[in-house]
Amino acid sequence: MGSIDRMQTLAIDCGGTGIKASVLDADGRMTASRIRVRTPYPLPPSRFIGLIEELANRLPPADRATVGMPGMIRHGTVVSTPHYITRRGPHSTVDPDLERAWRGFDVRNALTAALQLPTLVLNDAEVAGAGAVSGFGFEVMFTLGTGLGNAIFDNGVLLPHLEISRSPIRRGRLYDDYIGDKSLKRHGVGPWSLRVRDAILGLKPMLQWDQLYLGGGNAVKITPRQLAALGPGVSVVSNDVGIIGGVKAWEIFHLRSTPSQTVGMLSKESPDELQRLIDAMLDSNEDPGLL
């Protein structure tokens, strides 16, 4: 492995309908063509880990990995994930066995062992936000895709996650249902854009952002009229930020992993020992509130 400025990062953006992956250089540029596969269902944790491992094997070698996935993720462990607990994909029937399997599943530990790489696992909107924010002021990231994703940053510091998507917005309907992909396909671009406008303006008094970024596959579909109605300080960003944020995410967490440390971990340590070393790096974070 070379110096830190040559660090290669495996970046994987896991969505409800598709999973994308590439390898990035130290500046966040893709050094390999992006690959994409449909998210398979049902998707128990073991199948998810195997799929990530397969994608990694199709790409050039990397020194570390960043994985963004939907749901509430704390310290690399799943608190809840809305899509992967369903039998046939987003908005289908929830499988109680899958829900139990995912709840409390330590994704970071499992992927660290499977990939034999230091691995960071975050909510997918948090990784996208890491690739979009300037690091100045109070910045919010909303991703519009299968559902609504969100992440909040204060002067470049990632704040604790709020799963806004699972909150009711109107007549008991969740944000995921009200402005997600299913709503777009059912109502069309115009009415859907109006819903997006109303939902975002309704959240503005609570969040009071200096800058709002709109990402995800559907952000570019918002009509110019409704986008303008959101006011100043709103930008639509490329859907690729979900991948290119894979490098910036490590900077945000101040992980002091040097190339020599990574070589030592991969060549000398067992998966359990490797995980303990990564945990030690996380625990030594200068800003404990980040995790």
Q: Give the Cα separation of 82 and 166 in Å (integer).
A: 8
Q: Tell me the average pLDDT across 187-194.
A: 98
The answer, yes or no, to whether residue 278 has pLDDT greater than 80, is: no
- The answer for residues whose C-beta is within 8 angstroms of residue 3's C-beta and 6 or more apart is 259
Token duo for residue 222: 């918002």
Which of these CATH numbers, 3.30.70.20, 3.30.420.40, 3.30.565.10, 2.40.30.10, describes 4-123+255-290? 3.30.420.40
- The answer for residues whose C-beta is within 8 angstroms of residue 265's C-beta and 6 or more apart is 118, 273, 274, 277, 278
Token duo for residue 81: 């994930």
Residue 67 · residue 105 · CB < 8 Å: no
Q: Tell me the average pLDDT across 170-189.
A: 94
Residue ranges per structural domain of the chain:
4-123+255-290, 127-241
pLDDT, one tens digit per residue, over 231-270 is 999 999 998 999 999 999 998 875 333 333 333 333 344 4
Look up the CATH number of domain 127-241.
Answer: 3.30.420.40
Which comes out higher in pLDDT, residue 254 or 85? 85
Which comes out higher in pLDDT, residue 2 or 229? 229
Count Cβ atoms below 10 Å from residue 128 Cβ, excluding itself: 34
Residue (of 162, 68, 142) closest to 107 by Cα position = 68
The answer, yes or no, to whether residue 286 has pLDDT greater than 50, is: no
